[in-house]
Structure 1
Amino acid sequence: MQQDHISFSTHGRAGLVLLDRPRALNALSAEMAAALRDQLDLWAADSAIGHVVMAGSEPRAFCAGGDVRDLHAIAENGEFARMKTHFKAEYRSHLAVYEFPKPIISLADGITMGGGAGLMQCSTHAIVSDTTRFAMPESAIGLFPDAGASVFLGRCQRPVALFLGLTGHIIGGADCLMLGLANAMVPADSMTALRQALLDCDSADIDSVIDSFRADPGAAPLQAQRATIDHIFGDHVFTGQGIAAMRDRAGDLARLKGNSLAEAIHTALSTRCPMSMHVFARLVEMGPGIADIPAALALDYHLAIRMTERPDFREGVRAVLIEKSNDAVWQPSRLEDVTDSMIDAVFDPAGLPDL
């Protein structure tokens, strides 16, 4: 079955979901998300389908996330009812992947970011390659790492979760594997063959098929950077104006030691949306109290509505994605000016619909 930018087909006992919007790096529109959920509901009830493979139509991207350009247009027009519908479709598609009663294998080759990372993490099997580029970059555009990130990044050690969520740092397949964000790494030039093998195999043989393609990921670059990450994002600085303290610690390390990662962290914490970073920091604090992916998605839905009602989202998309001027003027503009009451208001679900 062919929908706009997403197709579904069956191959023996396997279903194939192909994200096919290459000009937008397979960004997930509300229509694509709704179609995905509907098809998974059909396959869940179909005894002829034993497992599902999800992939991008070409190797440059698995999925770059939600369709933020469409969201920006909706926000600019003040169509907040449509905004709620958009987020509901996206998060319900993630929920459908997570709750699907049969194995779902995501072949996360190339760009896998934001909502695309969420799809990967909601699958039973997340397969990466040497070209995977995984990130949660939402704080650059006035949103926050969503799609269940409070749970799946929360499985990383706290300094790493803060590092990835606050800075939007891009990691590769080896790092994903080391952090428990992927089940296996396969060479990029073997991904097409793996997809075909998974479509041809019996559902009981999924793991052995993946193992037959598995490659040694080599050293994980993040491992060599852990001392810097722990120094900047360790629990000992996560008090009060913690993110500002992290920024200053990164700046000191960059200046005194010439540490390039610290310099990049300092730049990110100095330029990304202060409200977005504080919202994610609150999510990290709440982490143990967020039971699972469904609970995280329900919370994300409320937070996404609140955050896109604020001017930061429209400003961030303008500056980063539309004009590419990188001159966003945030409200408030400084980390130090974000108060607990501001964050409390974003987390207040009063008057908001449930997912």
Structure 2
Amino acid sequence: MTDATGTTGIEEPVLLHTAGRAAHLTLNRPKTLNALTHTMVRRIDRALTTWEDDPTVETVVVTGAGERGLCAGGDIRAIHDDARNGDGSASAAFWRDEYRLNARIARYPKPYVAVMDGIVMGGGVGISAHGSVRLVTERSRIAMPETGIGFVPDVGGTYLLALAPGELGTHLALTGTPAGAGDALLCGLADHYVPSAALGQLVDDLSRLPVREALSRHVHTPPQGELAERREWIDTCYAADTVEEIVGRLLDHGDPAAKEAAETLIARSPTALKVTLAALRRARRLGPLERVLDQEYRVSCAALTTPDLVEGIRAQVIDKDRNPRWSPATLAEVADADVARFFAPLGARELGLAAGDGATTEVIW
């Protein structure tokens, strides 16, 4: 095995090595559940450039160090500090490179095998669910929980969830509910189910076999999910035009799970909920991933100037009192103009991915 940088990389936040026909990328911050930093994003991008031009590398395999999961998302403590004490420029620069990486992963010309074992949230979804081969296990818990911290699903999350059947994506985006293996497959967030006990052998097989052949040895029928049986009330309730009406339908439906979803929404940031619903509905009309990422960049940058992002991270991560004080505090107080400003053009600061969108890459595996 050799490190793509020529070093052992033992203390590196991203470990890189090649084994046979496969190149391996391991997120290596297990104490933070492999939360992404700007340095990690840049390192991943450089590695993908190296491997794209290396004829000996036929497959890229992405895993997470530790036992808890692939990646819990971005380093939101750093975002909290930047939004509270800085000018937001560090977070905007991080998102610019992260979203460009997400788009690159979606267009990568070689098989990109993402092992979505354990917890996969936020930015972790961005580096995995855009890949060409996405694997889940019985331990997988895939979520975009941003509304709980006063933020909006990003890293192409609104693109992915907008494509889910019916209103399943709206439910997952607004509530932040984790999807297990069966539900992730149903919603289009993953492609194959592999028991966690088989992952080691699968990764070994990828070093010497084509992806399709390696998968054929280890893919199994996934366990039953929960969302298929809940489609009736999810599709009915989340088809409403406003978040207020969605909450009302959920409360009136009668299914205990629908009431639980309503109670979850009532505890979320009212502004984040309304912006998320608008972002999802817009994403359905935007088309390619690059256009949606451009929109998400506008939304994310706007969120840096609102009180809910700092307050949400404080309540959930910093102080952990789980008692955020949202501003505005109710859905009724969030005006249409408050939502619209999240989508305002950024001028020279635009992400600008859409200028080169529509590109297609055929991945042979």
Q: Output the TM-score relative to the length of structure 1.
A: 0.92
Aligned residue number for residue 6 of structure 2: none
- Which of residues 322, 327, 331 in structure 1 aligns to 2:318? 322
Please state if 1:221 is matched with 2:221: no
- Which of residues 327, 331, 334 in structure 2 aligns to 1:331? 327
- Offset at 1:261? 1.2
Aligned residue number for residue 179 of structure 1: 187
Aligned residue number for residue 360 of structure 2: none
Please state if 1:109 is matched with 2:117: yes
Write out per-residue CA displacement over residues 146-193 of structure 1, whole angstroms, 9 at most, x where no aligned residue.
111122111113421110000001110011112222110001111122
Distance 1:352 1:172 in 2: 40
Provide the aligned length of Structure 1 versus Structure 2: 343
- Offset at 1:308? 1.6
**Letter aligned with residue 103 of structure 1:** P
The structure where helix makes up a greater share of residues is: 1
Structure 1 residues not aligned, in runs of 5+:
none
Aligned residue number for residue 300 of structure 1: 296
Distance 1:70 1:297 in 2: 21
Structure 2 residues not aligned, in runs of 5+:
4-8, 352-365
- Which of residues 274, 277, 283 in structure 2 aligns to 1:278? 274
Aligned residue number for residue 285 of structure 2: 289
Aligned residue number for residue 268 of structure 1: 264
Please state if 1:161 is matched with 2:169: yes
- Offset at 1:103? 0.9
Aligned residue number for residue 59 of structure 1: 67
- Would you say the 8 A contact 1:22–1:57 is kept in 2? yes
Which aligned segments of 4 or more residues in structure 1 are displaced greater than 3 angstroms?
none
Distance 1:98 1:311 in 2: 33
1:72–1:352 CA distance, 2 compared to 1 (3 A): farther
Aligned residue number for residue 210 of structure 1: 215
| 1:67-82 matches, cutoff 5 A | 67-82=75-90
1:143–1:323 CA distance, 2 compared to 1 (3 A): same
SS at match of 2:16: strand
SS at match of 1:127: strand
- Would you say the 8 A contact 1:41–1:96 is kept in 2? no
Write out per-residue CA displacement over residues 104-127 of structure 1, whole angstroms, 9 at most, x where no aligned residue.
000000001111112222100000
Distance 2:18 2:286 in 1: 36
Write out per-residue CA displacement over residues 258-311 of structure 1, whole angstroms, 9 at most, x where no aligned residue.
x33122211111010111111111122212322222222222122111112211
Q: CA RMSD in A?
A: 1.5
Distance 2:346 2:123 in 1: 25
Distance 1:22 1:306 in 2: 31
Distance 2:115 2:67 in 1: 10
